[in-house]
Amino acid sequence: MFFPLPVQISETRLQRTQLPIANGVIIALNVVVFLLFDPLSWGVHRAASPISILGHGFAHAGFWHLVFNMWVLWVFGNPVNRRLGNGYYLLAYLGAILTLGLFAYLFLAVPLVGASGAIYAVIGIAALLLPAARMTVIYAAVFPFTILLGMISRPKYGIFWFVRGGEFQVPVVWCLLFVPIMETVGMFCWWLNSGRWHWGHFGHLLGFVFGLGVVLLFPRSLTVRRSSTTWST
């Protein structure tokens, strides 16, 4: 298995002065919903209440589901929020939730909960609008993925052929390659093990595609690269 976790995305000094208010409000709402409501009652599926089309995107199945999602949203959402501004960021984020929610409401028989689909939309936006920004990723890997890592960088100790961890930096644009591969592999591995499709992985892919597509709808002033290109890590 291979477990990557993004921990930081570089931003221009100018961008750092702009507060990502919308992203902070979204994270706070997710925490409040988790603390005050039953997440399963917010799941969206064919027999669910129409309100779940929006509500499912603020509900999480467990503590670690919430923590991991909010961490990734913090890492990717803050720079994207600064780039788009609060209004366009909210439109994109809520649009992703509604699109995924409507799909699940029309086609899924089992409940779907979580902000993951909208977060993957944010990742897609980041890949197109902040392609050169450096993303720091920490990782843990176990055999056989360690063999692939060893072919790229020979491990210092023999045990690292079986268990390995570390960090690396890549441009955010690499998400255009990594995300589809990881989610597609995850979806098919789940199918091979259980005989059923994992709709969470499909939701991630759908959210990612939504994020790529919504960039085409933004004003040119948002999608054209700004003059400041000084990146810091």
- Over residues 40-67, the pLDDT tens digits come to 789 999 999 999 999 999 999 999 999 9
What confidence tens digit (pLDDT) does each residue in 34-43 have?
999 988 789 9
Domain parsing of the chain, residue ranges: 2-136+166-218
Pick the CATH number of 2-136+166-218 from 1.20.1540.10, 3.40.50.2000, 1.10.357.10, 1.20.140.10: 1.20.1540.10
Instruction: Give me the residues paired with residue 3 across strands.
Output: 140
Binning pLDDT at 50, 70 and 90, where does residue 144 land?
A: confident
What confidence tens digit (pLDDT) does each residue in 81-107 have?
999 999 999 999 999 999 999 999 999
Burial class for 24, CB neighbours closer than 10 Å (0-12, 13-18, 19+): middle
* pTM of the complete model: 0.89
